[in-house]
Amino acid sequence: MADHKFRRIATEEAFTIHEVAEALRGVARAPGNSIDLTLVRNIYDAPPGRDLNNFLSRLLDLEGERLAVMDELGVDMHVLSLTSPGVQMFDADTATTLVERANDRLAEVIARHPTRFAGLCGFAPQSPKRAAKEMERGIRDLKLNGFIVNSHTNSEYLDDPKFWPILEAAEALDRTLYIHPRGPSDGMDKPFRDYMIHGAMWGYGLEVGTHAVRLICSGLFDRFPKLRICLGHMGEGVHFMLWRIDFMNTAAQRGGRVPRLQMKPSEYFKRNFVITTSGMESDLALDFSLKTLGSDNVLWAIDYPYQPTAPAVAWMDAVPASDEIKHKLYHGNAERVFHIAPQDR
């Protein structure tokens, strides 16, 4: 492994297993209008030679090319999570069976490489009570490090009370829930279908940012004050809008049109959220994030295999920040947020 000054823990790194890939191939070949089908068909049902970035092979390969790339570029650890859309396009029974298998495989690979991999436990939101049981198994039995959900499920969001068993479990188990993007939900998807803006360019961030603002404005964090949420891609831009969100939400509360909150929306974001840099290598955006949220609430990530590793490492190495802050960004915050044992370099 290349010599480097800080332990490097990348906190949004995707994988899948063959069974989930095969099930998504079935989704790709079935009729449907979900905007996520663009991604699913391009990766899981691409004609030979059309998967130009070899995403599927890289998602499936945990111990070959991935480790070689990590070694070459000095990445100490990937925090692995089942790639979007996870199991959230299947029926509840299929989703539950597949996510249990994925979590088992994840735990096995971590056991073989405990200094190179940590992992986030997936679950099937389609069945919230079974999801909560799998979350408990993931932490207590499989010793995973947090949770992953790919935003909405069947165009429904986690502020819906039917999903509260999931949030209760995350809070009770004291583990962070990473809300990862997927395509815009039904009802908001139409304007995103042109110009390829439905995905990482634009739609993903707006969709997850909307999810986060819904959670805050619903009053959810008054009910679950210790719940911690992680957002990737430099916070999906939410904290750039906090002043306006505060102003407008306060006015709406005065008019009795929305739930009364105990704090300002910005205060919940700073208390209950952390963000990662995945796929957003901008000095200006990072500087704003550090000044707005504090250096304890920002984590480094690559977004492998969707984003290249070398530029992500080079960017963070060159960021104009003190060694103390880089220590937090590269590994200190990840160790705390995802319960990863510290390691002397």
Provide the annotated active-site residues.
Answer: 303
- Could you please report the per-residue DSSP string of 58-81? HHH-SSSHHHHHHHHHT--EEEEE
User: Alpha carbon of 259 to those of 90, 113, 163: distances in Å?
Assistant: 33, 47, 18
What stretch of H or E contains 169? helix 164-172
Burial class of 187 by CB neighbour count within 10 A (0 to 12, 13 to 18, 19+):
exposed
Instruction: For residue 227, give the 3-state DSSP assignment.
Output: coil
Q: Rounded CA gap, 8 and 231, in Å?
A: 19
**Residues 253, 254, 260, CA angle at the centre, nearest 5°?**
35
Q: Are 155 and 126 in contact (CB under 8 A)?
A: no
Amino acid present at 218? S
